[in-house]
Structure 1
Amino acid sequence: MKEKVMKSASIFSKAIIQPVMFMAVTGIILSVCAILKLDAMPTVGKDIGNFVFGVLSSGMIGQLGVIFCVGIAAALAKPKYKTDAAILGIITYLLFLYANNSWLTLTDRLAVEGEQGLFATGQGIVLGVQVTDMGVFLGIFLGVMVGWLVNKLGNIKLHRYLSPYSGTKSVYIIIVFATILFAIGITYVWPMVNSAVEAVVKTTTTAGSAGFFFYGFLNRMLLPLGLHHFLWMPLFYTPLGGTAEIAGQVYNGAYNIWLAELGNASQITAMHPSIGYLSNFGSISLPIGIAFALWKTSRPENRKKVAAILIPTVTTAFLAGVTEPLEFLFLFLSPVLWLAHSIVYGLSLFLTNLVGINIQFDTGINMIINSFAFPMNLGHQYLIPIMFVVTAVLEYFVFKQLILRLNIPTLGREVMVDSAETDTEVVTSSGNESFDPQVQNIVAGLGGVDNIESMINCYTRLRVDVRDENKVDMELLKDKVKSSGIVDKGKHIQIIIGVGVEEEREKVEAYMEHLKHVQS
């Protein structure tokens, strides 16, 4: 049972991160547009900013439901079904909209717009159709349904006279009726779910700064399992992260609210409290504190080597918001350090919210750009340098004390030997010389090409499902594969590569194709 739950969680986590990865790019572009729209900017800058912001706000942010639906359906589907799953994803989404609207119309339950439009009625306009307002949850539900049905029933065989309707075409027939029933049922069920969500949001928001501490603490504690997406994604993109009406339009989720405020900065008189989830020093000052502690507690003769390892990881965190290469240097080494890091991570969000910093930043680039987007009295950006130092010093002090008092063998505290003197690569069969030894070692460590069932990447991790965990050579993966850590979940292996993980996955896939060709 546990195996099935972990596998399902891993699969869903891999699927849902795919659409989200594009949101980071959207956020950077919208932040630049927000600066171009400032009153002090020339007219041409304002016009460009307004145009691009409007296009992305309506075309990307406003359509997250359908984007999640198609993205999740395609990501969940087996390789041979991915194209059909994407097509069925958009079809299913449209079917739901019109079925839901038709039933609301038939039962005379379409809400009537008031002075604030459809706000607080439980309904909204999606792709021009008035429907039960499920937000991004709709796309998630439908995407999962399509992906599951395609994988489960995609190989249906019919009589040869009916063969044009077999496979995914048969799945489509099932989806039509399943979607209609779902669209009808949700008109009765979702109002109750929505009430429950509102209760959760109210509880969280009334918790004040303490709520942000628990968010930050759990965010890090779930990271080793790769399940932290389940925490921040709903807060960023669904009503669980708050709801706000800005410039006559309703936005759900902390990140969506932030982007809407960016586009209407001149009209904002107070920042929404959900921005506290986005004001995060976790990839900016905390890595610096950790790195200094690791460097300071290392042996003097090792400090140059330690610095050579730490500087790239801190730079990656500051510029790209990717902290795993640094965190996995101590995660598996000391659970105590990881617990302490999770507490400090939560405290940094607590303190940041307590002093009233209200702008979004998860990288140094965000912090610099977004600091100019709002007046100081709204975002309290002038406190950022102070909190930057406070949180970095706090992390440094905690790590240094724990390492020294518990004598934790962190990086550089043991005798270090140059890897060039000891590193040897696994010898592979002839004909593979054109492939990087790193790639060959990954495939060999995972038990060979025939043992690799599926492979995908998120921001930093190569996520692999294997057929037989007994064939996985963990010693080879840990000793010969250059990574920040290996997460072993039996049949689900995660190799923490860093920001170059997508390129690494493509190399591994190319090598696997080469091996299959040789074997055939």
Structure 2
Amino acid sequence: MKEKILNQLQNFSKGMFVPVLILPIAGLIIAFGNILTNARLAEYLPFLKNEMVYGLGKMLSGSLVSILVNLGIIFCVGLAVGLSKKKKAEAGFTSLLVFLVFLNAMNIFLNLTNKLAPADALRGSGQTMVLGVQVLDMGVFLGIILGAVVAYIHNRFCEKEFDGAFQIYGGSRLVFIILIPITVGLAILLSYVWPSIQYLISSLGGFITSAGNFGLFMYGALERLLIPTGLHHLVYTPFLYSSLGGVAEIGGKVFEGARNIYFAEMADPSIAKLSASVIWDARGLSKMFGLIGACLAMYHTALPQNKNKIKALLIPAAVTSILAGVTEPIEFSFMFIAPILFAIHAVLSGLGMVVLNILGVTAIGPNGFIDFLLYNLPLGIEKTHWPVFILVGIGQFIVYYVIFRFLIVKLKLKTPGRETSGDTKLYTKSDYKEKISKDKKSESSIPVAMVVEGLGGNDNILKVDNCYTRLRVVVKDSSLVNEALLKNETAANGVVIKGENVQVVYGLKVTGVRKSVDEYLGIESN
């Protein structure tokens, strides 16, 4: 049972990537629009005073904010697409229909039962307007619930066909037919249940707020500790996109979640100071600074004969962490061979967020230094205190370096570069180029035949998927998976096996690896 639950959580985590990964793009466009309308920058860049440039900036930032106030439908469609196994486009279309049916069904039921709040007294009533329809304020949870339900029904019945006159009612039409009574029933059920859930969510948010820095520390540490399971997305997503991460009224609109509030405040020049709730999105501190100190410590403690090899491994991983915020290549280099370092990393990550909160820093940089510059510089120092973020980061770099170096030497930890048996092979650039030249057909520069062999062969692979950094595979027999082969011959940063679910960490090149594996196996990519 425990394994089944974990598998379902992992599948859900994968599905969440479809809506979640598109939202930072919206944030970047809002940031760019804010740059074009920034009065201070216009003093140094005269072209920003041009009316067309200013108007373009207002359009970009203002139009993208609409995404933030409609997260319900975005998560509904995105999650349905992400969780569906086949006919993803049809699943997305069906989820859109279901979302509209649910809104109107709940509105009508609330009206029939005299539970509909007056339109001019929505604030504090627990109700809101969604796509022009007044319903209970479920925020992003409405999209998550409906998206998951649609995906479940779609996966079960999307290929069910009928003969004769009923043929037209098969496939995706049957899915929608089945979902109509389910959706109406959910609207009625949640009309009674959701107010209690609203109270619990509010209480949880209040508890976390009352826990202050301890709650923030637990959040930061747990978000890192769950990296091996791939479930860390389930920790930060509710805080970024739901009321757990704060609620704020900006420009007459109510925004929920740390990232939504931040983006909305970016687009509103009248905001004098950013909300403290954005601290939940300050996860980039250890990515840009702390782990780089860990890399330097591992390099300095490597055996002399392995210095060049470890440099070839750590430099690309460090650059990826700094610029793109992808930390797994570094974390997987010591996670399993020196778990005490990973525990220390989680603790320091949580403490770093606490320090930022104490100092009143509201700068964010969840996806690396590029995001950090685009998000924070246009807002100025007074709103974000971004220079303090950098100073804290430098301090964290030093702390990581000192603690990691001390523990590696004191405990004789076999971190990369300290192996004497040769079991863990680290490639130089020339080794790597020679290795990938043997498989020119692979678009990902990874020997795809080795990937398949490492996963137990063609017949052992049941399903191939991927997230932002990991190749996620369902296999028949996990005992056939060759971790050493995947790491040494395919440049995998790590391998995680949970029952029939196998996750192979390739970093940002994972999309190319996934495509190559699909082509090698002769299956159609989703």
Q: TM above 0.5, one fold?
A: yes
Deviation of the 1:39 alpha carbon: 2.0
Partner SS, residue 394 of structure 1? helix
Give the aligned partner of residue 374 of structure 1: 379
1:279 aligns with 2:288: no
CA contact (8 A) 2:30 2:62 kept: no
Deviation at 1:425, TM superposition (A): 7.8
Distance in 1 between residues matched to 2:168 and 2:380, nearest whole Å: 62
SS of the counterpart of 2:273? coil
Match in the other structure for 2:60: 52
Corresponding residue number in structure 2 for 1:509: 518
- Structure 2: 5+ residue stretches without partners: 43-48
Aligned with 1:464 (options 463, 473, 476): 473
Shift of 1:302: 2.6
Q: 2:110 aligns with which of 79, 104, 111?
A: 104
1:175 and 2:171 matched: no
Q: 1:470 to 1:297 in 2, by over 3 A?
A: closer
Structure 2 residue aligned with 1:38: 38
Residue aligned with 1:500, SS? helix
> Equivalents in 2 of 1:279, 1:124: separation in Å?
29
- 3-state secondary structure, aligned to 2:282: coil
Task: Give the Cα separation in 2 of the matches to 1:437 and 1:34.
Answer: 40
The residue aligned with 1:355 is: 359
CA deviation vs aligned residue, 1:215-241 (integer Å, no higher than 9, x gap): 110001111000101100111001111
The residue number in structure 2 matching 1:75 is: 82
Give the conservation status (yes or no) of the 8 Å contact 2:37–2:58. Answer: yes
Matches within 5 A, 1:408-427: 408-415=413-420, 419=427
From 474, 496, 515, the counterpart of 2:483? 474
1:419–1:248: structure 2 CA closer, same or farther, 3 Å change rule? closer
1:200-219 matches, cutoff 5 A? 200-219=204-223
Of residues 399, 402, 420, the one that matches 1:397 is 402
Tell me what 2:45 maps to: none
Cα pair 1:258 1:360 within 8 Å, conserved: no
Contact 1:119 1:250 in 2 (8 A): no
Instruction: Tell whether 2:230 aligns with 1:221.
Output: no
The code of the aligned residue for 1:54 comes to G
Whichever residue aligns with residue 104 of structure 2, its letter is Y
Separation in 2, partners of 1:494, 1:393: 32
Return the letter of the residue paired with 2:81.
A
- Which 5+ residue runs of structure 1 have no aligned equivalent? none
Equivalent position amino acid for 1:75 in 2 = G
Shift of residue 368 of structure 1?
2.1
Paired residues for 1:300-379 under 5 Å: 300-362=304-366, 363-379=368-384
Deviation at 1:147, TM superposition (A): 0.6
AA at the equivalent of 2:460: N
CA distance in 2, matches of 1:50, 1:162: 52
- The TM-score, its normalising length taken from structure 2, stands at 0.91
Shift >4 Å, 4+ stretches: 415-426
Q: TM-score, normalised by structure 1?
A: 0.92
Report the Cα offset of residue 43 of structure 1: 4.4
Q: CA deviation at 1:271?
A: 2.2
CA offset at residue 180 of structure 1? 0.6
* Identical residues among aligned pairs (%): 35
Could you tell me how far apart the structure 1 residues matched to 2:505 and 2:258 are? 28
Matched residue type, 1:28? L
- 8 Å CA contact 1:279, 1:357 repeated in 2: no
